[in-house]
Amino acid sequence: MTILGSPIPQGVRDALRGRVDVVLIFGGDGTVNRHLGQLAKTNIPVMAIPAGSGNDLARAAGMPTLSSAVDVWQNFLHGGVDVRTIDLCIIASDTLPESRYFSCCANIGLDANAAQRTDRMPDWLKSHGGYFLGGLLALARYRPAEIAYATSCRERAERGWFLSVSNTPTFGGGLKIAPQASITDGQLDITFASADHFSRSALAMHFPKIFSGKHVGLRGLEIFTSEQINIHTPSAQAVYADGEYITDTPCRIHLAPGALRLVTA
């Protein structure tokens, strides 16, 4: 067994060169994100242990808590759990030296602003509703701007509150932004909130519905699937994925089907 306390890329590369039966990552989605580029190049099963502030990949794998992860690990040792081949997403932009993988959700607009605010919070607050608090602060201060996107079947340019590109049903520690999403369906699930249909007060009123997924079907909220999407804004906007700052717009996101082997409950 090899244990890496705070692994740097070279340390991970060295560890993966040996015989590895499974990689356990203790942390949240941001911790997993930092190593996806290397893990996706292997055929080694990965287990995401929910020990961070946002654990949405672990949640999608059927392990929302540490105790559930312990049970899955015990079953794994006895050959009693599944290792599933799941999709990842790839984001590229002109300012990124190389494309980046993400596993859960990429955010532009209000959601990215909320992630930015949450990132400044202490870890204990992040893991106890920090993203919801960040979202409330963003709701009060963020100003919607034009977001233009294009897929193989649709184009749109409109003032929007946010655009989210999901692989998992939840993000931000359990917020059900795309409850219909699946890590194995070969599709990106895209959510766009129009600023022409939602005033600030209306958006604030509907915001709690994201906990249950009851926001789906609201007029002015467009939800659709695609294998790729190009995103442009008149001025650069931050793009966050898995709670981490990745790049600025314009950017391109596409699906990487079956890119990772994941231990699931």
Ordered by start, the domain boundaries in the chain are 9-86, 90-256
Token readout for 248 is 């600025």
**Higher-pLDDT residue of 118, 205:** 205
Buried b (16+ CB within 10 A) or exposed e, 165-197: bbbbbbbbbbbbbbbebbbeeebbbbbbbbbeb
DSSP class of 14? H
> What confidence category does residue 10 fall into, taking pLDDT thresholds of 50, 70 and 90?
confident
**90-256 CATH:** 2.60.200.40
pLDDT of the residue at 150: 98
Average pLDDT along the chain: 92
Q: Which residues are within 8 A (CB) of 196 and not within 5 positions of it... i.e. 6 or more apart? A: 158, 159, 220
DSSP class of 175? B
Judge whether residue 194 has pLDDT over 80. yes
Judge whether residue 219 has pLDDT over 80. yes
Q: Which of 42-51, 67-76, 122-131 has the lowest mean pLDDT?
A: 122-131
**Higher-pLDDT residue of 131, 47:** 47
Judge whether residue 162 has pLDDT over 90. yes
Average the pLDDT over 155-182 and give the result.
95
Q: Outline where DSSP puts E strands in the chain.
A: 23-27, 46-50, 82-92, 100-102, 105-109, 145-150, 155-166, 188-194, 221-226, 228-232, 238-241, 244-248, 251-264
pLDDT of the residue at 242: 96
Q: How deeply is 107 buried, as exposed, middle or buried, from its count of CB atoms within 10 A (0-12, 13-18, 19+)? A: buried
Residue 8 is which amino acid? I
Token readout for 141 is 């201060």
**Higher-pLDDT residue of 132, 93:** 93
64-122 tens-digit pLDDT: 999 999 999 999 988 888 899 999 999 999 999 999 999 999 999 999 998 888 878 87
pTM of the predicted model as reported, rounded to 2 decimal places? 0.91
User: What HEC string does 130-152 produce?
Assistant: HHHHHHHHHHHHCCCEEEEEECC
> What confidence category does residue 19 fall into, taking pLDDT thresholds of 50, 70 and 90?
confident
d(CA 107, CA 130) in angstroms, rounded, equals 16
Average the pLDDT over 247-262 and give the result.
97
170-187 tens-digit pLDDT: 998 899 999 999 999 999
